[in-house]
């Protein structure tokens, strides 16, 4: 399925919630840098201002530094959020909140623009799997720009034309943002998950601050360790199955997309179906004016349905690192708890706040797409506290 085809996929949602009907919530991939910029406003308000997420603010120094005369998307209320993700390539990462958050805040002029530029770079650098599916999907939830009973401080969220005409309901705003990643260590099946921040220039983020660089690197490595382990296990199972199907050793080496495709074809002929990929929910945030309306659960369910579409005979497994407030939501949608994330950091960092995150997974297709999840601030990834449903 091509990237263009993705945008036309309908998202199933039931009923209406909080003054917004299911038909008014539109879920589709982000299509422009302008939409990335609008989405970044949500993430910055969520992870930076409300959650004070230690890892996110550390990886996005200057996130609250704006050009003179520019306005915040929302200066009031509690932001509905969970998730993080995308940290190594600059845009979505984060974990934990509170004291010791690290980062330089608004100290570097133009910091917010640089943070946005890194997120745009990640969006531009998307790769595709062997079927033409984008390995990373930046997903937006749009709603009519003015919603009865809600306000972002001005009575309207601004918005843009949706091409449906003029007058009431003719403009829309991005109310939620999610990032889904197809991850795999087998070429052609997804992006390999980064187990550390080696791809991030920490010196550029925190010049001369070796201590802050170490803190961020250690927290991130601990946070994604189980994610990497699961994807490695999928790779081993795939190699074992395809090696046996080809009459070779279980440890057959598959080091390029052509070899991987040949191995998969041989396995399919033999009736062996082993998916070497998972779908990772890397980020999910909802604007505070649009909480409790089913937006976050729709963003999550889109990814679970996509996991079903991309699977061969069964859904790809979905995984995430869930905050305390997001866990019940994910359980309703088919995720199951595995273990609390344990942060392995140096003694000098033991007093610094680190987020409580629970590694969760759906199992190999079990429960994927289940549940109705009527609206929460839930999301996953490198997580912060979610708003209530």
Residues 6+ apart with CB under 8 A from 346: 214, 218
| Residue carrying the six token digits 């795939």 | 238
Smallest CA-to-CA distance from 320 within 375, 363, 358 is with 358
Give the start-to-end residue ranges of the domains of the chain.
25-361
Higher pLDDT residue, 268 or 357? Answer: 357
32-36, 69-73, 321-325, 338-342: lowest mean pLDDT where?
69-73
Give residue 255's pLDDT band: very low, low, confident or very high (50, 70, 90).
Answer: low
Gap between the Cα atoms of 153 and 59, Å rounded: 28
Quote the pLDDT of residue 228: 98
Which tens digits make up the pLDDT trace of 290-325?
877 888 899 999 999 999 999 977 889 999 998 776
Question: For the range 149-156, what are the long-range contacts, defined as Cβ-Cβ under 8 Å and sequence gap of 24 or more?
Answer: 149/18, 149/19, 150/18, 150/19, 150/289, 150/290, 151/289, 152/73, 152/74, 152/76, 152/77, 152/287, 152/288, 152/289, 153/74, 153/75, 153/76
Gap between the Cα atoms of 112 and 60, Å rounded: 8
Which tens digits make up the pLDDT trace of 48-93?
887 787 878 888 899 988 755 555 544 333 344 454 444 433 333 3
Gap between the Cα atoms of 360 and 388, Å rounded: 19
Gap between the Cα atoms of 309 and 304, Å rounded: 9
Whether the predicted pLDDT of 16 surpasses 50: no
User: Mapping DSSP to helix (H, G, I), strand (E, B) and coil, where does residue 297 land?
Assistant: helix
Gap between the Cα atoms of 215 and 237, Å rounded: 34
Handedness of CA 307, 223, 322, 56 (dihedral sign): negative
- Please state the pTM of the whole predicted model: 0.76
Whether the predicted pLDDT of 132 surpasses 70: yes
- Residue burial 16-35, b: 16+ Cβ < 10 Å; e: rest: ebbebeeebbbbbbbeeeeb
* Mean pLDDT taken over the chain: 73
CATH of domain 25-361: 3.40.630.30
Quote the pLDDT of residue 5: 44
Quote the pLDDT of residue 6: 55
Quote the pLDDT of residue 355: 80
17-26, 39-48, 185-194, 247-256: lowest mean pLDDT where?
247-256
Give residue 389's pLDDT band: very low, low, confident or very high (50, 70, 90).
Answer: very low
Q: Which residues pair with 380 in a beta bridge?
A: 322
């Amino acid at each position: 399925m091509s990237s263009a085809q993705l945008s036309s996929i309908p998202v199933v949602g039931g009923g209406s919630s909080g003054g917004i009907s299911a038909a008014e919530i539109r879920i589709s991939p982000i299509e422009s840098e302008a939409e990335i910029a609008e989405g970044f406003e949500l993430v910055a308000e969520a992870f930076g201002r409300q959650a004070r997420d230690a890892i996110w603010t550390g990886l996005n120094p200057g996130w609250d530094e704006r050009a003179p005369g520019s306005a915040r998307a929302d200066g009031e209320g509690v932001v509905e959020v969970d998730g993080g993700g995308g940290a190594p390539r600059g845009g979505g990462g984060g974990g934990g909140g509170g004291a010791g958050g690290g980062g330089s805040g608004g100290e570097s002029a133009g910091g917010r623009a640089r943070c946005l530029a890194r997120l745009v770079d990640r969006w531009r650098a998307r790769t595709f799997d062997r079927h033409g599916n984008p390995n990373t999907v930046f997903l937006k939830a749009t709603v009519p720009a003015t919603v009865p009973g809600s306000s972002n401080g001005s009575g309207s969220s601004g918005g843009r034309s949706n091409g449906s005409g003029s007058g009431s309901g003719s403009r829309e705003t991005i109310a939620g943002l999610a990032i889904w990643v197809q991850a795999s260590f087998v070429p052609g099946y997804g992006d390999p998950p980064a187990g550390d921040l080696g791809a991030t220039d920490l010196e550029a983020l925190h010049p001369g601050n070796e201590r802050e660089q170490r803190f961020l690197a250690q927290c991130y490595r601990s946070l994604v360790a189980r994610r990497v382990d699961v994807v490695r296990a999928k790779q081993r199972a795939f190699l074992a199955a395809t090696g046996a199907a080809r009459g070779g050793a279980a440890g057959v080496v598959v080091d390029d997309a052509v070899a991987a495709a040949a191995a998969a074809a041989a396995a399919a002929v033999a009736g062996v179906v082993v998916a070497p990929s998972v779908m990772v929910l890397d980020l999910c945030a909802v604007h505070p004016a649009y909480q409790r309306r089913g937006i976050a659960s729709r963003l999550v369910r889109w990814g679970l349905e996509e996991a079903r579409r991309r699977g061969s005979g069964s859904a790809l497994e979905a995984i995430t690192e869930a905050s305390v407030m997001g866990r019940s939501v994910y359980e309703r949608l088919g995720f199951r708890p595995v273990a609390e994330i344990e942060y392995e950091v140096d003694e000098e960092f033991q007093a610094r706040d680190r987020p409580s995150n629970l590694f969760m997974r759906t199992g190999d297709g079990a429960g994927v797409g289940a549940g109705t999840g009527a609206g929460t601030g839930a999301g996953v990834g490198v997580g912060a506290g979610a708003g209530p449903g």
